[in-house]
Amino acid sequence: MRLIFLGPPGAGKGTQAQRIAEQFEIPHISTGDILRQAVANETPLGQKAKEYMDRGDLVPDELILSMVRERLSESDVQPGWILDGFPRNVSQAEFLDKLLQEIQQACDRAVNFEVPDEMLVKRLLGRGRKDDNEVTIRHRLEVYRAATAPVIDFYRQGDRIVSIDGSQSIDHVTQTLAIALERT
Ligand code: ADP
């Protein structure tokens, strides 16, 4: 099972990815988590990425793409994976398509989590991560609309997208998702 989770910040991608990853015993690959770890460990990647993350901007592709290439070459991802937070723009999506061809893997489904903006802001303010203040949140939502939303159309073209109502309770969303994935 190879899945891509798409949706705005606060849509619940990470929470659902964790659950599905456990159920299918496949790794949950969150580019946000990898980057936060790099920042915490003060690695060269972390030092470069930090300012972008603090502002709520996308970290430059040149940093992200090599990070994803490396992660997808590790042995634990052979049975499958869930990508959460990547691809975040169309050029990342094009890169991923090429990379998957190269390593002879194919993504089964892209899942799009839909949640109204006002609910996203409320959820993110409640979460209280460092980049979860109102100004940065509004900026991340703008970045999402401009850069990431077009990725949905990218996957719609290949008929690979399924949309899920992410505004329901966590358990309800997991259930809806499980039903959608059974049809995969
Ligand atoms: P959220 O989806 O809740 O905003 P993430 O943990 O996915 O949080 O990402 C946090 C930050 O990490 C983003 O605002 C961005 O700066 C950076 N980031 C994560 N994934 C990517 C990516 N694929 N491309 C560029 N930047 C990324």
3-state secondary structure of 8: coil
Quick: pLDDT tens for 1-21. 999 999 999 999 999 999 999
| pLDDT for the residue 125 | 95
pTM higher than 0.85, yes or no?
yes
Query: pLDDT by residue (tens digit) across 52-104?
Result: 999 999 999 999 999 999 999 999 999 999 999 999 999 999 999 999 999 99
Whole-number Å distance, alpha carbon 10 to ligand 1 midpoint, is 11
Name residues whose C-beta falls within 8 Å of residue 123's C-beta, 6 or more positions apart in sequence: 10, 12, 115
What average pLDDT does the structure give for the chain?
96
- Burial pattern 75-96, b for ≥16 Cβ within 10 A else e, equals eebeeebbbbbbbbbeebbebb
Pocket of ligand 1 contains residue 53 by CB under 6 Å: yes
pLDDT category at 183 given cuts 50, 70, 90 is: confident
pLDDT at 2: 97
Strands 161-165 and 81-84: unpaired
The rounded Å distance from CA 145 to ligand 1 centre is 14
**Cα–Cα distance, 41 to 33 (Å, whole number):** 12
Dihedral in degrees, nearest 10, Cα atoms 43, 126, 12, 85? -30
Q: Which pLDDT belongs to residue 143? A: 97
Fold designation for 2-182: Rossmann fold (3.40.50)
Q: Which atom of ligand 1 is nearest to the CA of 13?
A: 2
Q: Which atom of ligand 1 is nearest to the CA of 35?
A: 12
With a 6 A CB cut-off, is 88 part of the ligand 1 pocket?
A: yes
Pocket test for ligand 1, best of 36, 55, 58 (most atoms within 8 A of CB): 58
Q: Does the structure show a pLDDT above 90 at 158?
A: no
